[in-house]
Amino acid sequence: MKHKGLRLGALFCAAAMTITTSAQALSVEEAYDILRRSYVDRLPRAAKDAESLDELFSYTDNYTCYMTEEKYQAFLSSVEGEVSFAGIGAEITYAPDGISIVSVLKGGGAEKAGLKAGDMIIAIEGESCAPGSEEQRARLVGEAGASTVGRLAQGTQVRVTVRHTDGSEEDYIITRAAVVQANTTVSAADGVGYIDCDSFGTQTGTYFQDGVRKYDSAVRTWIVDLRGNSGGLTSAAVTALGTFSGAGELVYFVDQSGESSAQRYDGKDLTDKPAIVLMDSGSASASEIFAGGILGTSSGIVIGTRSYGKGVAQVLFDESNCPYLHGDAVKVTAYRFYCAGGNTTDRIGVIPTLFLPQAQAAAAARLLSGEKTKDGGAYLHLVLNGCDFYIDIPAAKESSSTALEAILTALTPSAVLYWGENGGETALTPAQAREKCGFAAASALDFTDVAGSEYAGEINALWAAVRALQQSISPPAEDEWPEFVQPTGAGTAYQVGDKVTFKGVRYVCRLPHCVWSPADYPIGWQKQN
Residue 425 sits in the same domain as residue 488: no
Residue 502 sits in the same domain as residue 432: no
pLDDT at 153: 58
What tens digit of pLDDT does each residue of 406-423 get? 999 999 888 999 999 988
Residue 92 sits in the same domain as residue 170: yes
pLDDT band per the 50, 70, 90 thresholds, residue 143: very low
Residue 410 sits in the same domain as residue 484: no
Domains: count for the chain: 3
Q: Let me know if residue 159 belongs to a domain.
A: yes
Q: Let me know if residue 260 belongs to a domain.
A: no
- The span from the CA of 295 to the CA of 306, in Å, is 14
Q: Let me know if residue 170 belongs to a domain.
A: yes
- The span from the CA of 321 to the CA of 324, in Å, is 9
Residue 397 sits in the same domain as residue 484: no
Name which residue leads in pLDDT, 281 or 153: 281
Lowest mean pLDDT among 175-189, 285-299, 452-466, 490-504: 452-466
Name which residue leads in pLDDT, 194 or 167: 194
- The span from the CA of 32 to the CA of 361, in Å, is 45
3-state secondary structure of 5: coil
- Which residues make Cβ contacts (< 8 Å) with residue 66, sequence separation at least 6? 19, 21, 24, 26, 31, 53, 57, 328, 329, 330
Which of 181, 213, 245 is at the close of a domain? 181
pLDDT at 145: 38
Residue type for 301, please?
Answer: I
pLDDT at 230: 85
Residue 364 sits in the same domain as residue 423: yes
Which of 181, 212, 232 is at the close of a domain? 181
What DSSP element (H or E) covers 329?
Answer: strand 329-339
Whether residue 301 contacts residue 407, with contact meaning beta carbons closer than 8 Å, is answered with no
What DSSP element (H or E) covers 408?
Answer: helix 393-410
- Which residues make Cβ contacts (< 8 Å) with residue 258, sequence separation at least 6? none
Please choose, from the candidates 300, 328, 302, the residue with its C-alpha nearest in 3D space to the C-alpha of residue 316: 328
Whether residue 314 contacts residue 334, with contact meaning beta carbons closer than 8 Å, is answered with yes
Q: Let me know if residue 87 belongs to a domain.
A: yes
* Residue 107, pLDDT above cutoff 90: no
Lowest mean pLDDT among 210-219, 238-247, 364-373: 364-373
* Residue 249, pLDDT above cutoff 80: yes
Q: What is the largest CA-CA distance in the chain?
A: 84
What tens digit of pLDDT does each residue of 146-180 get? 444 344 456 788 899 999 988 899 999 988 877 66
Q: Let me know if residue 88 belongs to a domain.
A: yes
- Which residues make Cβ contacts (< 8 Å) with residue 63, sequence separation at least 6? 14, 15, 16, 310, 312, 314, 331, 333
CA dihedral 99, 105, 108, 110 (to 10 degrees): 40
* Residue 393, pLDDT above cutoff 70: yes
Looking at residue 522, which CATH number applies to its domain?
A: 2.10.10.20
Residue 25's Cα: distance from chain center in Å? 35
Looking at residue 135, which CATH number applies to its domain?
A: 2.30.42.10
DSSP string over 82-133 = EEEE-SSSEEEEEETTEEEEEEE-TTSHHHHHT--TT-EEEEETTEE-PSP-
Full domain range(s) for residue 170: 83-181
Strands, E, within 31-89: which ranges? 65-67, 82-85
What does the chain come to in residues? 529
Whether residue 292 contacts residue 339, with contact meaning beta carbons closer than 8 Å, is answered with yes
Q: Let me know if residue 251 belongs to a domain.
A: no
The answer to whether the peptide bond before residue 131 is cis (omega within 30 degrees of 0) is yes
- Which residues make Cβ contacts (< 8 Å) with residue 251, sequence separation at least 6? 234, 237, 238, 262, 263, 289, 293, 337, 338, 339, 340
Residue 93 sits in the same domain as residue 151: yes
pLDDT at 22: 41
What tens digit of pLDDT does each residue of 348-380 get? 899 999 999 889 999 999 999 998 887 778 999
pLDDT band per the 50, 70, 90 thresholds, residue 94: confident
- Which residues make Cβ contacts (< 8 Å) with residue 473, sequence separation at least 6? none
Residue type for 111, please?
Answer: E
Residue 428 sits in the same domain as residue 486: no
- Which residues make Cβ contacts (< 8 Å) with residue 492, sequence separation at least 6? 485
Which of 382, 402, 436 is at the close of a domain? 436
Angular region, 232: left φ>0, alpha ψ -120 to 50, beta rest: left
Instruction: State the SS3 of 225-253.
Output: ECCCCCEEEHHHHHHHHHHHHCCEEEEEE
Among 155-164, 219-228, 473-482, name the most confident range: 219-228
Q: Let me know if residue 93 belongs to a domain.
A: yes
Terminal-to-terminal C-alpha distance of the chain: 34
Q: Let me know if residue 51 belongs to a domain.
A: no
- Which residues make Cβ contacts (< 8 Å) with residue 60, sequence separation at least 6? 35, 39, 43, 332, 333
